[in-house]
Amino acid sequence: MDENIATVWEHVADAVPDAEALVRGARRLTWAELDERAARLASALSRRGVGPGSRVAVDLYNCIEYLEVVYAALKLRAVPINVNYRYQEAELLHLLDDAEAGVVVFHGSLADRLVAVAPRLRRPVHLVEVPDGAALAPQAEEYESIVESADPAPRVERSGDDQLILYTGGTTGYPKGVVWRHEDVLGPPIAVNGWLAFDLEIPRCAAGAAALAAEVVGEGRAPRSLPAAPLMHTTALFKSLATLLLGGCVVFATSRSLDPDELCRLIEAERVVDLSIVGDAFARPILAALERAERSGNTYDLSSLLRIASAGVAWSPEVKAGIARFAPQVTFTDIIASTEGGPYALAITRPGEDPLSTRPRLTPSGRILDEHDHDVEPGSGCQGMLAASGSMPVGYLHDAERTARTWRTIDGVRHVISGDMATIDADGNVTLLGRGSEVVNTGGEKVFVEEVEQVILTQPAVADAVVVGVPDERFGHRVVALVSLHEGTELTERAVIDHVGAVLADHKRPRRVLFVDEVRRSPSGKADRTWAKAVAAGSSSTPSSSAGA
């Protein structure tokens, strides 16, 4: 669809003006209200210098204002920029300078870092604050005031070539911007979570999208989506975009950290149809909440829930099976994708199917390539790197060298190379091994840490785990696992090592197991490997032989 996302949303708003679009706590906005508020904000931003190509940074927790800002920026043909709200001053300074942001919209509780950074930026920046209990920051304007004082901006002609920039990374260096065109975002990245999930054909124009939205709303099957992950994560943002393109409603939790009980209550109260998560970091606490409720005799009603989709982090089949016991009607979709492109592979478990037997399979545009850019032969046992053709970003912002490495032309077709290693068996099932950058070389043998993590997570007592390599005088590096346990359980180091050894080769078994209260993860669910390596390297030579929570 050669369209601009804002133009499609405007058509949807005209088609279903009275349908709910956004819900958080007691606040509810219809499509007509969302469109008007975004138009007013667009007018206010325009008066502050925002226009085509301008960058508007969004440093917010999940809230209605987040999507209002995105919509307003897109209306102006400007570019919304996602900001990780955990970034400290150095990361913020890099991102805002790199993005050349002209406006930052932020929650008041995040003001200190922004106020400290603003004078050091290479260009002036307008600060717009969404209050959340703190006093208004110096030099900041209050969000609601500028919305209420502006007249709605007129609608304009836009292009599918307009940009959406998504910042990613930050664990192995400063965050980098991935530049998407609207036309490409409206391809597989959105279609998988939107039209195709509803067995609808991808519309060819904004009017066609609005007609489909009116159809699903009129039939009472418009999606009500709950993004459990932060919107600054591509998984949650793309799912929300897909929901709105169908005339659906995005429901937000009020908690700023993962509260699985709140998620379950919202699914029940708001009749949520779609839940988007990021792997086991979200799914395991949700399953634990369901099990606690069951033991107390106060089970949650999940009968409205039809789909749970995860992307970005591995999702254990055992956890899917556990959730399926409480919601047997749910289709589980594991999307192997990245901010840079994809999806490369999908694992779809439909109602009645056993999650334990469902494996990822390549999408029609997905490939596994060897070091010579040839397809890995299924069943050969050879390892390769995931790649995909089709809709994909233009490249990295201000980084032509990295762009050339990540997006390459192979056999005359442009591909995105994910960096994730995988194998494919004779039946076409894909086994993910992890990032090439997350390989531990121990005694000349390569160990993919994510592969070991997934085996450890199948141990019933384990709540979470992260595996890293630490320097070793004899072997170069040794494999170390940091493990947290479910409340009330105990496990020995030897039990974890033997559990891995029963499934994987001997050199993949952890040489050390350290028990921690909690495995640190980012808001998007990714393990904090910098922290894990520091803990592993700084621990005593003789860990405790067992642990209990």
Tell me which residue of 181, 213, 179 sits closest to 194, measured CA to CA: 213
For the chain, the domains span 5-257, 364-428, 437-548
| pLDDT of 215 strictly over 90 | yes
State the Cα–Cα distance between residues 48 and 179, nearest whole angstrom: 24
Architecture of domain 5-257: 3-Layer(aba) Sandwich (3.40)
CB proximity list for 213: less than 8 A, separation 6 or greater = 12, 15, 16, 222, 245, 246, 247
Least confident of 46-50, 295-299, 315-319: 315-319
Res 540 pLDDT > 50: no
**Cα–Cα dist 189/378, whole Å:** 26
For residue 358, the SS3 value is coil
**Confidence (pLDDT) at 68:** 98
CB-neighbour burial class of residue 128 (10 A; exposed 0-12, middle 13-18, buried 19+): buried
Please give the model's pTM, rounded to 2 decimal places: 0.84
- Residue (of 264, 311, 317) closest to 292 by Cα position: 264
According to CATH, the superfamily of the domain at 437-548 is ANL, C-terminal domain (3.30.300.30)
Q: Per the structure block, which two tokens stand in for 381?
A: 């046992």
For residue range 158-208, what is the model confidence (pLDDT) as tens digits? Answer: 999 999 999 986 434 578 999 999 999 998 778 877 888 788 888 999 999
pLDDT in tens, 421-438: 899 999 999 988 876 667
545 has pLDDT over 60: no
Q: What pLDDT score was predicted for residue 91? A: 86
Was domain 364-428 assigned CATH 3.30.428.10? no
Among 319, 275, 327, which residue's Cα sits nearest to residue 300?
Answer: 327
Cα separation, 36 vs 172, whole angstroms: 41
pLDDT in tens, 503-532: 887 888 999 999 999 999 877 677 888 899
Q: At what angle are helices 260-269 and 280-296 packed, to 10 degrees?
A: 70
- DSSP 8-class letter at 273: -
- pLDDT, position 541: 41
Q: Which helix (H) or strand (E) holds 60?
A: none
